[in-house]
Structure formats: C-alpha cells, structure tokens
Amino acid sequence: MAPNEIAQKLLLQGAQNAWDMLSEEQSQKHITTGSGDLNGILGGGIHCKEVTEIGGVPGIGKTQLGIQLAINVQIPVDYGGLGGKAIYIDTEGSFMVERVYQIAEGCISDIMEYFPCHHDKSSSGQENLQPESFLAGIYYFRICSYTEQIAVINYLEKFLGEHKDVRIVIIDSVTFHFRQDFDDLALRTRVLCGLSLKLMKLSKSYNLAVVLLNQVTTKFTEGSFQLTLALGDSWSHSCTNRLILYWKGNERCAYLDKSPSLPVASTPYAVTSKGVRDAGSSSCKRVRVM
Amino acid sequence: TKISGFPSSPPVAGVLPAAEMANKLVSDMCLPPHLAHLLAARRLTTAKDVLSLPEVELMSLLDAGLATARDAVCRVSEFACPPCQTALALLEERVRLGGGGRLATTLCGLDEALGGGIPLGKLTEVVGPSGIGKTQFCLKLALLATLPECYGGLNGRVVYIDTESKFSSRRMIEIGQKSFPQIFRQEGLAQKMAGRILVMRPASLSDFTKSLEQMKVTLLQNDVKLLIVDSVAAFMSSENERGTTGFTQHPLRWALSFLKSIAELTRIPVVVSNQVRSQSNDDGYHYSFEVKRRGDGDGAERLESHLVAALGIQWAHAVTIRLVFESHSGQRFIKVAKSPMSPAVAFPFIVESSGITLLNDEGIDVSGPEITSIRCQGQNLLGLLPFENRG
C-alpha cells in the first residue's frame, strides 16, 4: 500500500497524528489545585484526558486535595475555570460535607478577590457563586466493597453519557477495599489493571481528569524499609502522572514523581481553612461549627 | 475458584439493603434469560462473583464472546452500583437529621475543633499509652449518649465492648454524678441511664468476631446510639501481630472494616480505643526520593519514624478521626491527629472525679507531623499495629 493509504487506514481506526494532538493539548484547560506552586510543578494544574495518582501518608491532605479539585473544576469559565461538574467516589467515608462547604466558600471568596468588578458584568455570575451550587455540582458515590468499586467504574460509562458536563472523577481512595478484601494477589493485579484501563479510556473519551488517591505502605528495598505507594509495582505503571504528598520537617510538600512531559519536581503547599493553598498562607485551619 | 475475603454475614431480610450490594443476587437483576442462565450455570450467583473477574476471564469461564461478557458485566454493574447523591443532598440530609450529626463530648475546646463533637456514622480512634485516660474518656462518652437530648445526649442505648475488663459501673456513675449533679440527683435516673448501657465481654477473638456479626441486628433492634470497643488491640498480643509475607487474612482486619461499615449504615458513632507499643527497627521512614541524612541526630529521624509506625499505616488510613492521648513535660494532652475538618491542635487535660477535664479550651497549635506522634514520658511510642502487611 502507498504511505497515504496506510495513514488513511490508521486514521479511520481512531489514530491521531502528533500535530493534531499537540494543538489539542495546548488548548486544554487545567484544573487548578488552589496552590499556584503546586499548579506550577503540574504544568498548570491537573490535566484532563489523563489519569493522575496522588498518594501520601494518612493525614497529609489527600482528601483535602480531592475535595479542592471537586470544587475547583466547577469554577465558571468566566473566571478562568472549566465550569464542569465532579464525580466523587468515596471508599473510606472521609468525605465530610461541612468541610466541602467550607472549601467552596474559600474558593468563592478568592474568586471575588481576583475578579472584584467582573461579577457585576457577568449576567449569571452572582447566582452561581453560592457554596450550595458548588455542592450541587458534586456527584457523590459511597462505595463499601471492592465489588461496588468495580461496579461504579463500569457504570461510569453510562453515567457520563447522561451527564456530559462532568470534567473530573475522583476516587478516594482507590486502594482501600483492594488492600483488605482481596486474597489472591495475582487476581487483584489483573482486576486493577482492567480498572485502570477503563479509567484511562473514560478520561480520553469524555475529556475529563481522573484523579486516584492512593495509600502508602512500606517496602523493603536497598537494605531498608522505605515508603511507597500501595497496590504494588504493576499498578504503578497504570497512571499517567503520579504526585506524592509528604512531610518535610513541619511543612507539607508535593513531589511530582511521574509525568510524560514534565520534570520531577517538588514544592511545598499548605492546607488552610479555605482549602489547599500556597505554603506561607495563614496556616490556621480553624473550623466553624455549623 | 471462589474468592474468599469478606465473610458473608447471615442475611437479614429487609435490613440495610445498601450494605449488601456485593451480595445482590444475579437472579434478582432481571437480566435477559440467556445471560441469566449462562451465569447461573457457572455458579455465578452474586454481583461479587461476576465482577471479581476480569472480563477476559469471565469470557472464558462463560465460554462466550467478549460482547456477551461485557454485556453481563455492564448490566450487573448497574445493579450493584450504589445510588448517587449530590453533595448538596448530603448537606441537606445532615441538616435535616439535626444535631449537626455529632455527639458532643462536653470538652468545649475538643468539640469545637471537631466541628461539634464525635461524628455520627464514622469511626473514631482513641490511642495512647496505658493509664492515660482512654477508658475514662469512653466511660464519659457512654454516659453522654444515654442522656436525654435536652442535656446534649443521644437518648439511646450504648453497646460497650469491654475486652480488657476495664469497665466500671461505679466509676461511670461517679463521673455522671460529678459532671451532671442536677440530672443525677433525680431519683432513679442513674439506674435508668446505667440500664441503657449493654456491656459485652468477649473472652477471645472468635467471641469478639461472633458478637460483631450479630451486631447489626442488635444495634437496630435495641435503638443503640453509640458503639464503643475498648480496646480493639487486646486480642492482638495473643495473636501473631506481624503478617509475614503477602496477605494474611487476619480476622481482626475484617472486624475493623465491619465496624466502619456498621457506623455508616446505622449512622451511629463508633469509638475504638487502641494501645501502643514501643518502636521496632523495621519501621519504614522515607520515600526513595527523599535524601537520607546521615548522623543528622536521632531527634528528627526518630520523630519521623514514629510518625510512620504510629499511624499503623493501613489501620490509620481506615479511621476517620484519630485522637492521640499522650503525656510529656509532666502534662497530658489530647491531640486531634487526624480529622478531615480539624486543625492540628492539642489540649492539655487532667483526669478527676468528673472524668476528663481540659485545662485549656483554646488548644495549642501543633505544626507538622508531630501531631501524629505519641509520646509517653519523653519517649516516643507507637500505635499498636493490628497488622503490618507488606503488600
């Protein structure tokens, strides 16, 4: 066959040439994490059409970041966001709705600060900037077993077909049920592999970001025990990007461990009462009783 | 091959259907007849059976094409998937249920830090060295749950699983009389409140697991508003706590995830107390990308290592709230070590006749990973790991 014909045949089968991909990538919007420094090492924020894994020890702020992303994806287009909705799949029960409300308020107050006159001009601006409307934009699934986890990931295809404005799917955490209820490790690896392929496919077909929160375990390498993300070596190949959250002295830091296009880098960040922000912001996370 | 794992509890008709999604019967799913027959013929009777296999393996098991396997998985998934709610609906439900979804501990500073008190529907862990006041805390909570709502209680029964024979009714009544003298002066009230607390004393791990299995029904039939397990680690010392290689299906692991699911399904607070052990050399400290500093002094290194092990990593991921009780510099502190909505803060306290009292309601801000370490008289201790698995 002549080269043109081969190219034609491949295009018909769903392949894309690299130039088209580049222009597509450049027009992609990113989902801000709330911290400018963190966005910086991520190349602007969390990418759509990619699967990002975020791991860390308990208490470091994985759920906080997950909730922050679920709010930030909804920032209206007028204010530089994606104006999309979020799916939050909670396997551990750490989704506390009062905190979500608080983070929504923090996001709104930051928008008002950066766009003080804008919301007068924009017709729909005022009504949408209420914490309640941000909460209404998060579709929440509570998953109590690995069967349900597999079921919900399979069901997402249909759900996303019906809810085309979803731009992020967060699973908090992807590990929990698979660590405790699965005896057969080899089978677990195969099942997880299938799930990660499905998620990757969903992210590409529906142009959304998939964020998987992972737990941490210890591994014996190089003569000592080290921390590593859970679910084993084969799982670590499944995600496009990997971000590890860790303590450095008294500061929270994020380390970009894996990315197809960005260098490894780390940066400090903070969790405040408003949510995830740059380090050096007022670090008091006082909560208001509702 | 059957996948063992989650032991199935005896089916109770009409009770908590959401919990049994994994056990939903294929026969109840109204699948097209050819699919239903195919799955039944291969003994795939529950949603769990069908979904635990990767598609390709299901295909070969059913001896059918990929399209059929995919169709089966798709339909079963739709049935087994729990319903979705918006976060707004969750908030409205929380508001509707009232009480802010919390059990106030009456320790003002702590209640404020926790957003009102111990959350309903979540698993709260209390960990600390022996003698520090964990049981005192649990006794007071048990009492508070029995009080009428006008006094800040949940007006319900309490199940108190006492694994170390530490429960003392006399002490609990004393706490009640000293903390709420106006209530307990009333005739017969002490008896009424104490009568609402069911104390269970399992003698062994298997007794404990058995009583947990029956727990769901017990909780619903008796209008139980609080479940306390004091302590969960008691059975650890007699069993082999460290898993060797791979996964060991430790029965305690099941108990812990069961407690968590019970909390959510019955929407009651579950409080679990945990013991501590001293450090061993096996505890992992750093990620591979972190530079290991040699001779940097034992202080910083030890603190970080205690952080890792103290969390008993897999267990610590499982609890929603962790309160660390510790002592140092001659004082005792309650630290909010893990909570999705609380600042990292420590409160000094003492134990007196009315139970635990905070010396300072403002709390002391704690920065960094120190919030999660457990100290006792200058030494760093660690939360007892129910299981340390390397997988």
Q: Does A201 touch chain B (CB under 8 A)?
A: no
Picking from A158, A173, A244, the nearest residue to B287 by CB comes out as A244
The yes-or-no verdict on residue B291 having pLDDT over 80 is no
Cis (ω within 30 of 0) for the bond into B327?
Answer: no
The beta-carbon neighbor of A58 closest among B112, B122, B311 is B311
Whether B81 and A194 lie within 8 Å, measured CB to CB? no
B267: which 2 tokens? 């929407």
Give the pLDDT mean for B84-109: 84
Interface check A28 vs B, CB under 8 A: no
Query: Which range (A223-227, B9-13, B194-198, B229-233) has the least confidence?
Result: B9-13
Q: Is the pLDDT of residue A287 over 50?
A: no
Residue type, B288: S
- Assess whether pLDDT exceeds 70 at residue B378: no
Range with the largest mean pLDDT of A15-19, A255-259, B260-264, B386-390: A255-259
Condensed to tens digits (0 to 9), the pLDDT of residues A95-130 reads 888 899 999 999 999 998 888 765 555 555 555 689
User: Which residue has better confidence, B33 or A85?
Assistant: A85
Q: For residue A137, what pLDDT is reported?
A: 95
The partner residue sitting opposite A250, judged by closest CB among B115, B264, B368, is B368
Q: Which residues of A touch B22 (CB under 8 A)?
A: 144-148
Q: Is B184 exposed, middle or buried (0-12, 13-18, 19+ CB in 10 A)?
A: middle
Domains defined for chain B, CATH in brackets: 17-80 (1.10.150), 93-384 (3.40.50.300)
Tokens of B187: 């005739």
pLDDT digits (tens, 9 = 90+) for B230-271: 887 776 654 444 443 332 345 666 777 788 888 887 888 999
The single residue listed with the structure tokens 């309160």 is B323
Asked whether the predicted pLDDT for residue B81 surpasses 80, the reply is yes
Is B8 a residue whose pLDDT tops 50? no
Show Cβ contacts of residue B26 under 8 Å, excluding neighbours closer than 6 positions: B36, B39, B40, B44, B45, B46, B47, B49, B50, B76
Contact state of A218 with B22 under an 8 Å Cβ cutoff: no
Domains and CATH numbers, chain A: 29-116+125-278 (3.40.50.300)
Distance CA B24, CA A105 (A): 40
Residues of chain A positioned with their CB less than 8 A from the CB of B289: 244, 255, 257, 264
pLDDT in tens, A203-229: 999 999 999 999 887 777 777 767 778
Residue of A nearest to B78 (CA): A155
Tens digit of each residue's pLDDT (9 = 90 or more) over A192-209: 888 889 999 999 999 999
Question: Structure pTM?
Answer: 0.79
Residue-level pLDDT at B98: 62
Confidence of residue A42 (pLDDT cuts 50, 70, 90): very high
Q: Do B284 and A59 touch (CB under 8 A)?
A: no
Q: How far is A151 from chain B (nearest CA, A)?
A: 4
For residues B315-320, average pLDDT? 72
